[in-house]
Amino acid sequence: MKIGLPGTTTQPQTFFMRSLFILLLVIAGIQASAQITGQVKDGQGNLLTGTTVSLMRVQDSALIKYAVSGDEGVFMFKEVTHGSYRLTASFVGHQPFLSEIFEFSENPFRLDIVMQKLSSDLAGVVVTAKKPVVEVRADKMILNVEGTINATGSDALELLRKAPGVTVDKDENISLSGKNGVQVFIDGRPTPLAGQDLAQYLKSMQSSNIEAIELITNPSAKYEAAGNAGIINIRLKKNKALGTNGSVNAGYNIGIYSKYNTGFSLNHRNQKLNLFGNYNYNNNKNQNSLSIDRSVADSFFSTRNTIIAQSKNHNFKAGADYFINKQNTLGIIVNGSVSEIGMANNSRTSIASQTGNTNRWLVANNRSSLERNNVGLNLNYSYNHQQGKSLNLNGDMGKYELGNDQFQPNFYYDPSGQTLTSSVIYQMIAPTDISIKSLKADWEQNFAKGKLGFGGKTAFISTENDFKRYNVFNNSKELDIERSNGFNYKENINALYVNYNRAFTGFMIQGGLRAENTITEGVSNGMRHNGSGFVKYDSTFKRNYTDLFPSAAITFNKNPMSQFSVTYSRRVDRPAYQDLNPFEFKLDEYTYQKGNIDLRPQYTNSFGITHTFKYRLNTTLNYSRVKNMFVQWIDTAEISKSFITKKNLATQDIVSLNISYPFQYKSYSLFANLNANRSHYTADFGPGRQVDLNAYGLSIFAQNSLRFAKTWTAELSGFYNAPTIYQGAFQAKSMWGVDAGLQKQLFAGKATLKASVSDVFNSLQFHGKTEFAGQVSNFTSRWESQQFKISLNYRFGNTGVKAARQRGTASEEETKRVQQGGGMGIGQ
């Protein structure tokens, strides 16, 4: 049997061609005119290569273009219209440069720049920088969440749902550019959670506590090899201003139910010590609906679920940095979250024969009480030498406690739905404890006219699961020994890597190799009845394997206005413990979910070509081949029962195209992103159980921003996902949504009031279909996507960042960004 999706072969291609045509028209319509050139030197007359030069329009202080001084210190701005301008420039170890105002009306026009070195008496210089809403770099895209209006009142999962190239399916699995296997990091550290546990954790994180989301599609050897589609790194806020400062925030959302959140942050920083901390609380009540129509064998099941979830989440973070001197820093960070979630699922299923006549009803209104608690400790040390040497040491410990207590009644009624014929009631209690310990070291130094980096990491993860199922009789319950189980899982990953990059005349190279040894052990034990009594069984499995993960990139930048990059990387996704866990989690008597202890790692080889035009238009073409791809599969058991599990699909071949472009005119800015992909899936699970299909995907993201009346900003954003096939199994219809918001600066910029409406047209919903092994299932899922949100943030204390003492100042970071081939963002 072959799985196909009618219409997906032509519709995404037509939509893609139209969108590409419109995007090219916008680009072609930009007016071409005169140019500005110059040369950058230091105070001693030495030429400076790699200086970031910005062209600012005097009328509205708008950033018009970026340039980077090349060989001989020369920079150039082309296609500049006549008007009044200023130049700004930044270079590591030098004072920021700001030119006098000049009138540009000649061609050619030349203005040279002289950069003065920083000295100790410049500690009072304050650098003010505005982050763009979206930054596009050679290896990643950065969404600066704290600057966006429509992020107000959102949680981390909701933000990802609307991020460029990211899709979240009905079961809240995350994929990037058409590929599953995304590795989620928090502040640069991987989280051990996956599936629903990860989704619940992301829902507990409020946007008010998030600084930025990084979509890293081409990680270097320095990063862990896990993540077939790449890495999504969620950076939490950390104040960098000198002095004592902080902020308080409060927000209110209303959809079907009310939700509210509040929090605060405090920071004290001087020349020797930085103390920081924040706390956020949110109380949410949400309603979701899920409809499942399933036909298998001679039966038809039609299920309607209404799920109401009430959650209370506390998130906290505290830390300190001690600056021993200009070169050495010690740090400590403690963070965590405490979440209580109550879920009520009102479920009603009609069970009919093939003739369509209902022969009975199943009412399964279950209740669940969940706990999601975690705490982490990080100790870090950094050494930075002026000669380009740096050492970073990190030690991490983490503890996750997950609790699940589910009460599952199953009441069967006659065809009229009035007379109770039988009932089965059970309770499932499943606590999980996860322990993480890791040590990591990274060293960088100048070597052979380039930069050499090497390091290693060792990590230990231990997971203990205890699943107990009880049969409930009136006011008593009895342990079901055969359906209770224990599952313990241990994973040890040891890694070494080396990475080298060097700039030549007209091109740059980067290459790396990472070696990872993985040792895993899973123990599933319980009791089984052998006819005469219960006997113990032990399904233990052990694996020990070592893999090499090369990565390479070459960037051709002889013409800074038109740069090409070619990349390659090999990556891996290891099964999460939840996907190996053989427990059966039941939705009702006919639907359940279970793990697969035979699940193997999936490997990806990825090739990419990126073109950056005038630091703005970024185009990336990527090809990936995934071996042993993970898929969430719906299969049959006991003729009419359905279960969901993870399996290894044979292969996935995927080609993707990503185009992004920022545009700015005076106080208006636009960021547009288009991602198109084609996947080919093949697998053979036996007679009548083959997979051979093509799937097309298309997603479009756009964000518009308009500043007016000095203190007001309006924002309109939206996304569209075309019909596609998720994980080679779910045929999904299109999804789209539009958000709108307003922002007002108050009290001389110390306070910000934001109001927005998410999913303005109430269009967000998931429609999907699967067909396999004689079973056809149709899904429809909706959630409280349309909400009115309002928030107020008030900042107090000192907010200046002093350039001479602040590590990673705006000028230094901006210089690094452009030198690495990054493109322009949108001014906020």
- Cα distance between residue 118 and residue 115, in whole Å: 9
CB-based burial, 435-450: b 16+ in 10 Å, e otherwise: ebebebebebeeeeee
- Residue 346: is it exposed, middle or buried by C-beta count within 10 angstroms (0-12/13-18/19+)? middle
- Specify the amino acid at residue 825: G
**Residue stretches of the chain with pLDDT short of 70:** 1-34, 59-63, 71, 106-108, 118-139, 147-153, 162, 164-165, 169-171, 178, 238-242, 583-591, 634-643, 685-686, 688-689, 727-729, 772-773, 799-828
pLDDT of amino acid 220: 84
In three-state form (DSSP H/G/I as H, E/B as E, the rest C), the secondary structure along 720-784 is EECCEEECCCEEECCEEEEEEEEEEEECCCCEEEEEEEECCCCCCCEEEEEEECCEEEEEEEECC
pTM of the model: 0.74
Could you count the other beta carbons within 10 Å of the beta carbon of residue 549?
23
DSSP 149: S
Q: Which two tokens stand for residue 73?
A: 């210190």
What are φ and ψ of residue 810, in 5° steps? -60, -40
Q: Give the separation between CA 780 and CA 767, rounded to whole angstroms.
A: 5
Residue 419, token pair as written in the block: 């007379």
pLDDT of residue 638: 55
How far is the CA of 595 from the CAs of 577, 627, 645, 757, 808, in angstroms? 9, 20, 6, 39, 45
CA dihedral 725→730→731→734, nearest 10 degrees, is: -80
b/e per residue 68-92 (b: at least 16 CB within 10 A): bbbeebbbbbeebeeeebbbbbbbb
For residues 202 and 236, what is the distance between their CA atoms, to the nearest angstrom? 12
User: Residue 238 corresponds to which tokens in the numbers above?
Assistant: 């950390």
Q: Please list, in sequence order, all residues whose beta carbon lies within 8 angstroms of the beta carbon of residue 507, skipping any fewer than 6 positions away.
A: 554, 555, 556, 557, 558
pLDDT at position 100 is 83
List the helix and strand counts (H, then E) for the chain: 5, 50
Report the Cα 681 to chain-centroid distance in Å.
25
- The candidate with the shortest Cα–Cα distance to 499, out of 458, 457, 445, 459, is 445
Predicted local confidence at residue 167, as pLDDT: 74
The two tokens of residue 116 are 């003065």
Residue with tokens 């918001």, as numbered in its chain:
741
Q: What is the pLDDT of residue 412?
A: 94
